[in-house]
Every structure is written in C-alpha cells, then in structure tokens.
Amino acid sequence: MRKMNAFFTLVFASLKGRFFATTVSVFAVAVALAVVAVTGIVSFAIAKQAFESGRKYPLIVAAEGASETQIILSTIFHIDKPRGKIPFETYETLKKDPRVTAAFPIAAADSLGVFPIIGTNGDFLKDLGATYRGDIALADSHDAVLGATVARQLLMNIGAEFTGTHGMGGSADEAHEHGGHIYVVKGILDPTGGPEDAAVYTSYKAVWAIHSVHEVHAVQHADEHGEDHHDHDRYHLSDGMLTAVLARTGNPVQVFELQQEYSRPGLTAVNTAGAVRSFQKYFNTAGLVATFFAGLTLLIAAALILAITLMALDARRRELALLRILGIGRGTIALLIMLETLIVTVAGVVIGFLLGHGVPTLFAADISRLVGASIEPWHIGANEPAALIGALLLGQLVALIAMLRAYRMNLVEESAKN
C-alpha cells in the first residue's frame, strides 16, 4: 500500500509536470464525448416531442410551399418562421367537420424577446392539459398567457404588460416595435416540459389587430425606400388569416381522408405521425453523423495522446534512466507510463460525461427553448455508451502502446553513454 501511494505520487507529479499536454489531452477526449452526450440528449428530446405531437395533433393544415418538416418545426416546436398564411375559414370548416374532434387556430408572427408569440384561442390552451395560474381563456385581444420559462426568465407575473416585436426571434435592430398594441398577462402555465414552456400565447384576433395597422406602415415604408414589399409581407398576417390549423380526428383513416381533401391549391395538409416518422429518421441520421464526427474526434484525440505520450517518453529518457539506476524495475516504469496515459483518458471520459450532461443541466431552459422541446440533461443517448466504452478501450490501447515502448527502452545503455 505504501508502495502504491509512492507510485501514484510519481504518476500525478509527472502528469502535473506536463500540465499543458495533460490538459489538452484530457479535453480532447472530453469534448468528443460531450458532443455525443449532447447530441443524444437533444435528439431524444425532439423525438419524444415530435412523437407526442403526432398523437395530439395528427393533422396540421398550413400554407402551400412549406415542407412538412418546416410546418412541424414552426407550428409545434416554434423554431422556424411560419411560411405563408391560410384563410380563417380553413379553421372554421375543419372545426365543423364531423370527423374532426378538435381543431385549433395558430397565428404566429411576433415574438417577445426570444420567445415566440402564438396567436390562438383559449380552447387550445385548455387542451394542453397544463395546470396554470390566473385565466387562460384569451377572451380579449389584449390578453396574454405565458409559458413557465417565459414568466421565470422575464420576471413577469399576472398583470404585467408588454408589446411584441415583429418577426420571430428577431434582434432589436430588425424588429419593429408594435408600440400600438399592449398585452396584459392574464395567466401563466405551470411547466409542462413541452414547447409551450417557452411560448407566449395571445388571441389570434390580437395578431390580426396589430398587423392590419402595421401593413399600412409597411406599404408606406416600402414605397419610400423602393424595396420589394411582397417578400417583407410574407410573415405578416392580414385580417382573417392564420399560419396553421391543428386538428384531431376520431380515427387515423379520417386523418388520411382529410389530408387528401385539404391538400389543395394554397394549402398543405400534414399527416403529423407520418411526417414525424421521416423526421425521426432524419434525426437518427443526424445523430449518427454527429456521432461519427465525435468518433473521428476521439480517434484524433487518441492519436494526439499517443503522440504526446511517446514524445514525452523520449524527453524523459534521462529521468526514466535515473529510476532504473536507483533500482526501479523495467516493469514498474512501464506500468508508470501506462497509468499516466490511462489516467488521462479516464479523466477525459469522466469530464466528458460530466460536461456533456452538466452543461445541458445548467442551460436546460435555454437549450429546451432553442430546440423547442424539453431536454432531459441526464438522458443517456443511444450512441453514448458505445462512445464511452470506445474511448476507454482506445485509451487502454494507447496506454499499452506507451507501456510497451517504455518497457523496451534501453535506458541503461542510454545513461551509460552520457
């Protein structure tokens, strides 16, 4: 045991002596593994959210011209700008359709800081099934309901007032203040773990009210500067327009029927569950690509560690020869080198794991908002165990190579030559 202590003192002193090389090596491994961890966490959160949305809103009707993925991203995750608009009657006819058990209007165009403002109605909020404080009926066009994260981050409570900025997530520069329309917070949702945590809800009528005023300005503005007004208008909602309608039916066959019926000029009807499946395939592929690059990084890290170790071994010939002269055996020295290398990779694996899950823990709210789905920071992704074990095996391999090299070094002859 005494010997073990002395042995480890020597190992750690040597690692500390090469602080820079040690740190670089440890972090090379850690970063590669953290990437795998974060990819796993994010793709799991998105997949879960997408899967639940498919069950909750099996049919989405939005404007023609957007892909199914774009429509899901903008209406469910609120992370893409809505493309185009659809007439309000689409909502009304869907709602009246006997095959439809529930339908909700979505009119999104504005944001409150980084949080999107979604124009909808009280039915939609009640249907979320979240518990809440205050009132979520959205009866008046000035009423607003905040998601839990929004209320917490902006320190807003019931009764607070705000005005939205035009264009989602836009910076202060590009956003026009809608000075005219003031919202009053009437209700705050409790945390749900879904995209609603990071959303602000108002009545769709409020969105109409703002934009009918705004359009007049926009036209004048465009005329003065001679810009193409049409493109600018794309995200503007005029009176009676929505960005999407979410609908639920009695059975899956009806989803299929409605999808056929509503796929007509000006509209895109999305079978959410079907789209989510291809969506998931896309994410699995993306995850695989990310893991592949992380694996590549890991290989480079291993090569780096091997190079650093072998270089250090050469630089330390004299010190190692000294140990031999003092009577310390070849095997002990080889073990010393192996342990040094192994500690670097094990430290890299441990730090990578903590980093890959710790950083998401610290920034859970921001990441969740960014990806539009609540992340579970300690979720172990499908590729993570393999990456961790791979890193450890690779580290062991490098350590063994270094050990063999150290064992074979002819240190005594070296020292004899002076």
Ligand X SMILES: Nc1ncnc2c1ncn2[C@@H]1O[C@H](COP(=O)(O)OP(=O)(O)O)[C@@H](O)[C@H]1O
| CA geometry: angle 51, 57, 63, nearest 5 deg | 110
To another protein, the closest distance from the beta carbon of 407 in angstroms equals 12
- Only one of the segments 63-71, 217-225, 294-302, 319-327 lies at the binding site for another protein (rule: CB under 8 A); that segment is 319-327
Number of residues that bind another protein (CB under 8 A): 30
To ligand X, the closest distance from the beta carbon of 313 in angstroms equals 19
Residue 2 touches which of another protein, ligand X, none (Cβ within 5-8 Å per kind): another protein
HSE of 320 in the Cβ direction (CA atoms, 13 Å)?
27
Q: Is 323 in the site for another protein (CB under 8 A)?
A: yes
- Only one of the segments 148-156, 202-210, 328-336, 392-400 lies at the binding site for another protein (rule: CB under 8 A); that segment is 328-336
Residue 46's contacts (CB-CB under 8 Å, 6 or more residues apart) are: 77, 283, 371, 372, 373
List the beta strands (DSSP E) in 124-164: 132-134, 143-146, 161-162
Q: Is 20 in the site for another protein (CB under 8 A)?
A: no
- Distance, CA of 151 to CA of 159 (rounded, Å): 12
Q: Which helix (H) or strand (E) holds 4?
A: helix 2-17
Cβ proximity to another protein: between 21 and 34 the closer is 21
Of residues 283-312, those binding another protein (CB under 8 A): none
- Only one of the segments 94-102, 237-245, 300-308, 320-328 lies at the binding site for another protein (rule: CB under 8 A); that segment is 320-328
DSSP H helices, 110-235, are 122-128, 148-153, 204-225, 229-232
Neighbouring CB atoms inside 10 A of 102's CB total 15
Residue 171 touches which of another protein, ligand X, none (Cβ within 5-8 Å per kind): none
Residue 322 touches which of another protein, ligand X, none (Cβ within 5-8 Å per kind): another protein
User: Measured in Å, how far apart are the chain's first and last C-alpha atoms?
Assistant: 35
To ligand X, the closest distance from the beta carbon of 412 in angstroms equals 8
Q: How far is CA 127 from the centre of its chain?
A: 26
Residues at the contact surface with another protein, assessed by CB under 8 A: 2-3, 5-7, 9-10, 13-14, 16-17, 318-319, 321-332, 412-413, 415-416, 418
